[in-house]
Chain A
Amino acid sequence: MNLAFVLVFAAVVALGIILRLAVSRSVPAKVDSSLATTIRPIDVEAFRNLINPAEDDYLRSRLPPTEFRSVRRARLRAIAAYVQVAGTNAAVLVRVGESALASGNPQFAESAQRLVNDALLLRRNATLALARIYIALAWPNCGVAAVRVVDRYERLSGSAMLLGRLQNPATPVRLSPR
């Protein structure tokens, strides 16, 4: 009987999620012209410094283990904030690219499709990277996870810079200040 109630509860939750997704799809999105202004630039250099494994090694050698874990968690939270901004930017860029594709202008079609694909890759990387950060938050000493996170971030920041240049090559749009 308990199993039946668990399943009924799960079914009600699932139906709620489905209806919410259906309603959110039917509600018109923000006006396109204001969509792009929601992009939040990222300082890629600061981001790179934050994920530099040499800095972690230095902190590990200088700080007592308890303090190191605390500092490492704080750094991981800062990294997570950067990654979340990158992921949100990617979501906005997907919609900007879709909007350009929907305009039906053949001049934009190729670059818009590239923008959408790159933004989706960035969003995918951000999602995976966030999962790794949350794992690393639980085990701050886990070196392997940190190395993998760094790899993801380097690819991610490269994608972010590339995305900014795609739509208007004449006036480069950047998601980072350098």
Chain B
Amino acid sequence: MFQPHSLLWHYLSVAPSVLLALLALVMWRRGMHKEFPAFFCYAIFEATGGGVLYAIDVSPSISAATYWRSYLCFLLLEGLIKFIAIGEVFTHLLRRYQSLGRFARVLISSVGIVLVFAATVIAAYANPTPFWLISATRILSRSVSVVQCGLILFVLIFAAHFHLSWGRAAFGITLGFAVLSSVYVGHWALLADWLLGQKSYLLDFAIMATYHVCVLIWFYYILGPQKSTTKSPAILPEDNLELWNRELERLLQP
């Protein structure tokens, strides 16, 4: 069951691509591609790219070197689109909060610079092997996933700290990317150092299953019903001097 090219392996390779193609189609029909164009592109790219990679992988006439070259190109493009999609959800989150705009951009830029520096250091400590193409793919993926995980974690913590309200779809997209990128960090960290040796395909199952779960998260949040937001507003209390006095006493106590 947990062998390459087993039935489970075929399912986990194909199902997310099919589901993402379906998601992109529904997004198009609902007009959501205008709201989240980068994520829409990501869904299409993953659906087609995943399908092409699967075809290359199972085709006996295509060499392993060609597969790894294709995979490296796929990862480069995927990383770029993911960064744009993360920027998109962050912009979407801040759209209603103009007072935080400049501060948030300065912060995320600073976090990005620190993460790129950290990723460079991590890449410098990599453990390359004679199979340079595989090593390059794994080391690059590890560095990119560290930056992506850091950025998406920053976005989530920033929103939680300021109690910003997410749209359902934006939160779902962010949550999917967050789970995926954090699992990718662990996955690529183990793969880049060849810690599992010949058994590394077991990690592929873990990452494929996680990816499948994340696609389902996107389905749930993007296509699920939007909760009604109409409710009675909270009323601010009148000034309560007694409460204030109590608070001041608490503060003045040593």
| Chain B 137-164 interface mask (CB, 8 Å, partner A; 1/0) | 0000010001001000100110011111
**A153 CA to B162 CA in the complex, in Å?**
19
Q: Is the interface of B mostly helix, strand, loop or mixed?
A: helix
Q: Which of A108-148 contact B (CB under 8 A)?
A: 108, 112-113, 116-118, 120-121, 123-124, 127
- Pairwise interchain contact A36-B234, C-beta atoms closer than 8 A: yes
Q: How far is the CB of A96 from chain B (nearest CB, A)?
A: 5
What residues on A are CB-neighbors of B237 within 8 Å?
36-37, 39, 173
What residues on B are CB-neighbors of A99 within 8 Å?
231, 233-234
- Pairwise interchain contact A120-B99, C-beta atoms closer than 8 A: yes
A-B pair number, CB within 8 angstroms: 158
The one of B99, B153, B162, B235 in contact with A18, judged by C-beta atoms closer than 8 angstroms, is B153
In the complex, whether A32 has a CB less than 8 A from a CB of chain B is yes
What residues on B are CB-neighbors of A171 within 8 Å?
238
- Pairwise interchain contact B239-A174, C-beta atoms closer than 8 A: yes
- Pairwise interchain contact B231-A124, C-beta atoms closer than 8 A: no
How many residues on A have C-beta within 8 angstroms of the other chain's C-beta atoms? Answer: 63
What residues on B are CB-neighbors of A124 within 8 Å?
99-100, 103, 162
| Chain B 231-248 interface mask (CB, 8 Å, partner A; 1/0) | 111111111110110011
The one of A24, A37, A96, A98 in contact with B160, judged by C-beta atoms closer than 8 angstroms, is A24
**A90 CA to B230 CA in the complex, in Å?**
23
Q: Is the interface of A mostly helix, strand, loop or mixed?
A: helix
In the complex, whether B15 has a CB less than 8 A from a CB of chain A is no
- Pairwise interchain contact B238-A3, C-beta atoms closer than 8 A: no
Interface-facing stretch out of A6-14, A51-59, A60-68: A6-14
How many residues on B have C-beta within 8 angstroms of the other chain's C-beta atoms? Answer: 53
Q: How far is the CB of B115 from chain A (nearest CB, A)?
A: 12
In the complex, whether B182 has a CB less than 8 A from a CB of chain A is yes
| Chain A 140-178 interface mask (CB, 8 Å, partner B; 1/0) | 000000000000000000000000100110011110110
CB-nearest residue of chain A relative to B104?
A124
**A123 CA to B98 CA in the complex, in Å?**
14
**A30 CA to B36 CA in the complex, in Å?**
31
| Chain B 153-177 interface mask (CB, 8 Å, partner A; 1/0) | 1001100111111100001000100
What residues on B are CB-neighbors of A10 within 8 Å?
185
In the complex, the 10 A-B pairs of residues with the closest C-beta atoms, listed nearest first: A7-B189, A11-B186, A41-B244, A100-B233, A32-B234, A11-B185, A117-B99, A14-B182, A15-B182, A103-B233
Please name 21 pairs of A and B residues whose Cβ atoms are closer than 8 Å in the assembled complex, sorted by A.
A4-B190, A8-B189, A11-B183, A17-B153, A18-B175, A18-B179, A21-B160, A22-B175, A36-B236, A41-B244, A78-B251, A94-B162, A96-B233, A112-B233, A117-B98, A120-B97, A167-B235, A167-B236, A174-B239, A176-B244, A177-B239
Interface residues of A (CB under 8 A from B): 1, 3-4, 7-8, 10-12, 14-15, 17-19, 21-22, 24-25, 32-33, 35-37, 39-43, 46, 78, 81-82, 85, 91, 94-96, 98-100, 102-105, 108, 112-113, 116-118, 120-121, 123-124, 127, 164, 167-168, 171-174, 176-177
